[in-house]
Amino acid sequence: MPILEFQDVSKVYDKTTKALTDVSFSVDEGEFVSIIGPSGSGKSTILRCINKLVDATQGSIFFDGHNITTADKKEIRKVRKKTGMIFQHYNLVDRLSVIENVLHGRLGHKATITGAAGIYSEQEKENAFAILDKLGLADQAYKRCDELSGGQKQRVGIARSIMQEPRLILCDEPIASLDPSSSKVIMDHLSDINQSMKITCILNLHQVDVALKYSKRIIGITSGQIVYDGPPETLSKSKIHEIYQSSEGELITDVE
């Protein structure tokens, strides 16, 4: 059974701007999917529809068998508990310590009051340190997040999402602001999480070569519509040009 299913999903912003038009696809448990497409084509909207940061205008989205398009507040919280999210700009609380930011991943599982007061159990704290250790950030645990480098911040973001014990991790341009070596570290961690923990990963990527190397499935999207859905091996050069609506020689991937 697919963990996620989109059925003819459309999203219109402000009654005029069409972001998605009749998008349908399904993702099985444990898949590693990259979504590629030009800026403004609707990649971020797809991810944000899954954890209800954005509400789809039409169609239905099924997560783990439940239709989440009609979900109420309680059900939305349930969905969000099970989906981690990683952002391009890390979206950490910069003035708090690394360990506090990692523990924020538990907020969805806690009662409102204990979460607001920042009271965590010993078990949760131990888990947080174990995850930081695994991501190579054990020494940074008590540092403030604004003292970290970009790659380290993104690893804190990953730690926060693993802390949720999620079924699915959504990555919105996870390496768009990182240098090549930090990018590799982040992508390796993500694919390791996918393989060892069996967590489904859906990534928005601008780097076509990275998408081709790491993912087993690629979804190409152009102005709110899916134009390619399949393994990286069958994604031809002309198809890439169709996704980015460009002609031969206009893409960075064309440079040999």
Partner 1 sequence: MLNKFSEKLKNKRASSKAEATQDTNVSQASKQSSNTKATQDAELTQDAKISKWQLDKSSVFIKRKRTFTLAFLGVAVLFAGSAIITNYNVIEGFTSIPKVIIWMVQNLVPNEKSWEHLPSILSKLAETALVAIAVTVCAALCSFFFSLLGTRTTKANPLVARVVRVIAAFFRNVPDVVWAILLLFSFGQNVLTGFFALFFATFGLLTRIFIETIDEVSSSCVEAMHATGATTLQTVFQGIVPSSMPSIVSWILYMIETNIRTSTLIGVLTATGIGYAFDTYYKRMDYASASLVVLSIVILVIAIELISNQIRKVIM
Among residues 146 and 188, whose Cβ is nearest to partner 1?
Answer: 146
Q: Which of residues 174-233 bind partner 1 (CB under 8 A)?
A: none
- Specify the long-range contacts of residues 190-193, CB closer than 8 Å, at least 24 apart: 190/32, 190/158, 190/214, 191/32, 193/158, 193/162, 193/169
Q: Within 10 Å of residue 232's Cβ, how many Cβ atoms? A: 15
**34, 45, 51, 140: residue in contact with partner 1 (rule CB under 8 A):** 51
109 forms part of the interface with partner 1 (CB under 8 A): yes
Picking from 235, 242, 244, the residue whose alpha carbon sits closest to that of residue 38 is 244
Contact between 55 and partner 1 (CB under 8 A)? Answer: no
- Binding of residue 125 to partner 1 (CB under 8 A): no
Query: Which of 170, 165, 164, 173 has the alpha carbon at shortest distance from 197?
Result: 165
Helices assigned H by DSSP within 11-72: 43-50
Q: Give the residue, chosen from 4, 56, 92, 148, that forms a contact with partner 1 under the rule CB under 8 A.
A: 92
Q: How far is the CB of 238 from partner 1 (least distance, A)?
A: 36
Please report whether residue 91 would count as binding partner 1 according to CB under 8 A. Answer: yes
83: contact with partner 1 by CB under 8 A: yes
Among 55, 66, 67, 117, binds partner 1 (CB under 8 A): 117
Q: What are the helix (H) ranges across 70-175?
A: 73-82, 98-103, 112-117, 122-134, 150-163
The distance of closest approach from Cβ of residue 81 to partner 1 in the complex, given in angstroms and rounded to an integer, is: 4
CA atoms of 175 and 70, how far apart (whole Å): 33
Judged by the rule CB under 8 A, the positions of this chain that interact with partner 1 are: 51, 53, 77-81, 83-85, 87, 89, 91-96, 100, 104-105, 107-110, 112-113, 115-118, 157, 160-161, 164
